[in-house]
Amino acid sequence: MKDSAETPPDPTELLVCTKCRRGRTEPGDDRWPGQVLFDALEALPLPEGVRLTPVECLQNCDHGCTVALRGGARWTYVFANVDEVVGAAMILDGAAQYHAQPDGLIPWRERPEHFKRNCVARIPPLEAPNV
Amino acid sequence: MKDSAETPPDPTELLVCTKCRRGRTEPGDDRWPGQVLFDALEALPLPEGVRLTPVECLQNCDHGCTVALRGGARWTYVFANVDEVVGAAMILDGAAQYHAQPDGLIPWRERPEHFKRNCVARIPPLEAPNV
C-alpha cells in the first residue's frame, strides 16, 4: 500500500533571469543585476526540493530583477522587482513555502509581502500532464 | 519509419483571464472585460492546433486584459493590455504564429506589434518533460 505521507512532493524550480539590467546601462561589478541575484541565490543553501535554474531573459525587462517558480502540479508564478542584493533570502523563504503547497498557492496571509505586491503573472498547472 | 513532416505539432493552449477588470469597478454589459475578451475569442474560428482555456485570474491585474500561450516544448508567453473589444483577432493571429514555432519563439520582425510591446513574462519549456 502506498503511503502518500512518505512520497516527497514534486520538485520546485526557481528560475532566475540572469540578463536582467534593471534599468542599468552598465553592469555593476562586471555583472548585471540579474547575475548578481543568481549568484546570491546560488551562495545560499537551497530549501529541500528546490532547484535553481538560470534563464537568459524572462522578458519582464521593465520590472526586473525577475524570478519564476514552477514544478509538478503547482501554478507557475512570476515575481518582479526583486532586489539583487538583499532579496535572495526572501526569495528562498518564499520558494520553500511554495514548495510546501501541492498547488503552489501560498495562503495569502502567509505569503511574503514582496510576493503579494510584485506578482507579474501566474499560470495554471497543465490539466492533463504529459499531453 | 516515422516521418516527422507528418507529425502534427503539439497543441497550443491560449489561456485567457476571464476575471480581468482592467481598472473597472463595475462590469460593462454585465461582463468583466476579461469575460468580454474570452467571449470574443470563443466566437471566432480558432487556428488549427490552438485551444482556448478560461482562467480565473492570471494575476496581472494592473495591466489587463491578459492572455498566455503555452504548449508542448514551447516557451510560455504572457501578454498584457489586450483590448477586449478589438484585440481578439490579433491574439488569434499571434497564437497561430506561436503554434507554428516548435519553441514558440516568433521571429521578432514577424511578431505582432502588440506582442513586442506587451510581453509581461516568458518562461522556458521544461528541460525534462514528465519529471
Partner-chain residue, chosen from B60, B66, B122, that has the shortest CB–CB distance to A58:
B122
The reported pLDDT for the residue numbered A107 is 96
**pLDDT number for residue A5:** 62
Least confident range from A33-37, A109-113, B101-105, B125-129: namely B125-129
Between these two residues, A92 and B127, which has the higher pLDDT value?
Answer: A92
State what percent of residues in chain A have pLDDT above 70: 92
Nearest CA in chain A to B115: A59
Choose, out of A20, A56, A59, the residue to mutate when testing the contact with B (most B CBs < 10 Å). Answer: A59
B43: which 3 cell numbers? Answer: 466566437
Q: In whole angstroms, what is the distance from residue B100 CA to residue B113 CA?
A: 18
- Mean pLDDT (whole number) for B43-64: 92
pLDDT band for position A22 (cuts 50, 70, 90) = confident
The more confident residue out of A128 and B64 is B64
**Residues listed for chain A:** 131
CA distance B54 to A120: 18
**Residue A130: band (very low, low, confident or very high) from pLDDT cuts 50, 70, 90:** very low
Residue type, A93: D
A105 to chain B, any CB pair closer than 8 A? The answer is: no
Q: Is A15 on the interface with B (CB under 8 A)?
A: yes
Taking residues B74-83, report their average pLDDT.
96
Give CA–CA dist A111/A113, Å, rounded: 6
CB contact (8 A) between residue A121 and residue B55: no
**For residues B67-87, average pLDDT:** 95
Distance from C-alpha of A84 to C-alpha of A90, rounded to nearest angstrom = 11
3-state secondary structure B78-99: EECCCCCCCCHHHHHHHHHHHH
pLDDT band per the 50, 70, 90 thresholds, residue A45? very high
pLDDT grade for A128, boundaries at 50, 70 and 90: very low
The rounded distance, in Å, linking the Cα atoms of A32 and A54 is: 13
Q: Band the pLDDT of B59: cuts 50, 70, 90.
A: confident
Q: Which of A11, A60, A130 sits opposite B121 (nearest CB)?
A: A60
The answer to whether B36 and B85 have CB atoms below 8 angstroms apart is: yes
pLDDT band of B5, cuts 50, 70, 90: low
B15 interaction partners in chain A (CB closer than 8 Å) = 123-124
pLDDT at B4: 56
Element housing A92 (H / E) = helix A88-99
- Tens digit of pLDDT for each residue in A23-40? 777 777 889 999 999 999
Asked if A122 reaches chain B (Cβ–Cβ under 8 Å), the answer is yes
Hey, which residues 46-85 in chain B have their CB within 8 Å of chain A?
A: 53, 55, 57-60, 66, 68, 70, 76-78
Walk me through the domains of chain B, giving residue ranges and CATH numbers: 12-123 (3.40.30)
Phi and psi based region of residue A84 (left: phi greater than 0; alpha: psi -120 to 50; beta: remaining): alpha
